[in-house]
Amino acid sequence: MPPLYDLSLPALTGLLTDWGQPAYRARQIWEGLYQHFYLSAEEFTALPKSLRLRLAATFDFAPLVPEKSLASADGQTVKTLFRLADNLRIEAVLMKYDRRRTLCISTQAGCAMGCVFCATGQMGFKRHLSSGEIVAQVMYYARQLGQQGERVTNIVVMGMGEPFHNYDNTMAAIDRLNDPAGYNFGARRITLSTVGLVPAIRRFAAEKRQVNLAISLHAADDALRASMLPVARKYPLDELLAACRDYVAATGRRVTFEWALIEGVNDTPEQARLLASKVKGMLCHVNAIPLNPTEGYRGKAATRQRAEKFRETLEQAGVPCTLRLRRGIEIQAGCGQLAYK
């Protein structure tokens, strides 16, 4: 059965009209899904029993089955393994930072991009997630946090998969989460990360969305970048950065460049200076983080000293840079570590 989360409000309204139901029933279902986080037809007690039975026979209300959760030693990071209806698995992560409750969600089972230091890339591509399967990850954690008197504050679309490879479903999911009549989650509290699919960046810019854009950059020259991210062979840095500049011009929004610092590879002052020269004048920010370990890659994380030098070099050249803390490493919940066996 398809996930009920796959339907937009107009599509749900149209379906119920075809079933001979009044249009307001769609709004009741919408509120039940996105404001009360119901997980079964039985919970929709405001609906007639006959409608609840028909909905239960037609749609999957819980398309993700949580199989296992792992918590970091400090309890601030929780990773959950979900089973999909076809028995594929995905992972998503809840991260707690003071008052923030940030979700890292997935858009694909596996990934086709093949980035060498990423565990998801190492497992290969299985399939796209539907918009409903993407939404369901957020609703799972929203329900959990709601039971504790808390709520999701930020969403990063940085889990398994390349969001722009699954563009339509990813954007449909974001639109559904952003719907004022539903979950009403602010677009500016969502960050989407891409390895740099240039046509999709240009499409995204043309749509003038308020969602934050992050680019997995990791190198300031084509040869080094292509050795880590195969997509760089198709979209060279100059082409990618031109698309980023056009995005900033079209939206007025800042681009974030993500940089996994690998000791002796891309953590050098030379790389920092080259990066600064290429993004000079662009409204951007660099998020650098020491590499998270994965089984399929031998590179090591940059030392704190080398990471600080990289940041200082960028800052001195006029490019703002933040050194991020690694989270959930011991449970393989950090950036680039999501996969399943």
CATH number of the domain that residue 179 is part of: 3.20.20.70
Question: Which residue in 16, 250, 281, 231 sits closest to 112, CA to CA?
Answer: 231
Q: Are residues 84 and 142 in the same domain?
A: yes
Question: Are 16 and 134 in the same domain?
Answer: no
| 337 domain residue, yes or no | no
Q: Same domain, yes or no, for 17 and 72?
A: no
Same domain, 209 and 241: yes
Please, what is the end-to-end C-alpha distance for the chain in angstroms?
26
> Domain containing 48: what range?
4-58
Q: Where are the beta strands (DSSP E) in 77-196?
A: 77-83, 89-97, 100-104, 108-110, 125-128, 154-157, 190-194
Q: Same domain for 130 and 192?
A: yes
Give the strand order in the sheet containing 255-261: 65-71, 77-83, 89-97, 100-104, 154-157, 190-194, 212-216, 255-261, 284-290, 321-323
- Residues 266-280: tens digit of each pLDDT: 999 999 999 999 999
HSE-up (13 A, CA, CB side) for residue 300 = 6
Domain CATH code at residue 31: 1.10.150.530
Same domain, 89 and 205: yes
| 53 and 84 together in one domain | no
Shared domain for 262 and 139, answered yes or no, is yes
The answer to whether position 210 is within a domain reads yes
* Domain presence at residue 317: yes
- According to DSSP, residue 262 is labeled B
What is the Cα–Cα distance from 43 to 35, expressed in whole angstroms?
Answer: 13
What residues contact 23, with CB distance under 8 A and at least 6 apart?
13, 16, 17
Q: What is the dihedral of CA 222, 104, 338, 227, to 10 degrees?
A: 0
Domains identified in the chain, total number:
2
Tell whether 177 and 313 lie within a shared domain: yes
Q: Is residue 339 part of a domain?
A: no
Residue where a domain stops, chosen among 41, 58, 75? 58
| Tens-digit pLDDT profile for residues 156-212 | 999 999 999 999 999 999 999 999 999 999 999 999 999 999 999 999 999 999 999
Distance CA 40, CA 44 (A): 8
Do 39 and 145 fall within a single domain? no
Determine, yes or no, domain membership for 288: yes
Alpha-carbon gap, residue 193 to 323, rounded angstroms: 17
Active-site residue numbers? 91, 335
Same domain flag for 316 and 280: yes
Q: Do 22 and 143 sit in the same domain of this protein?
A: no
In order along its 341 residues, the chain shows pLDDT tens digits of: 899 999 999 999 999 999 999 999 999 999 999 999 999 999 999 999 999 999 999 999 999 999 999 888 888 889 999 999 999 999 999 999 888 999 999 999 999 998 888 877 778 899 999 999 999 999 999 999 999 999 999 999 999 999 999 999 999 999 999 999 999 999 999 999 999 999 999 999 999 999 999 999 999 999 999 999 999 999 999 999 999 999 999 999 999 999 999 999 999 999 999 999 999 999 999 999 988 767 767 788 889 999 999 999 999 999 999 998 755 454 444 454 445 44
What pTM did the predictor assign?
0.92
Rounded CA gap, 7 and 13, in Å?
A: 9
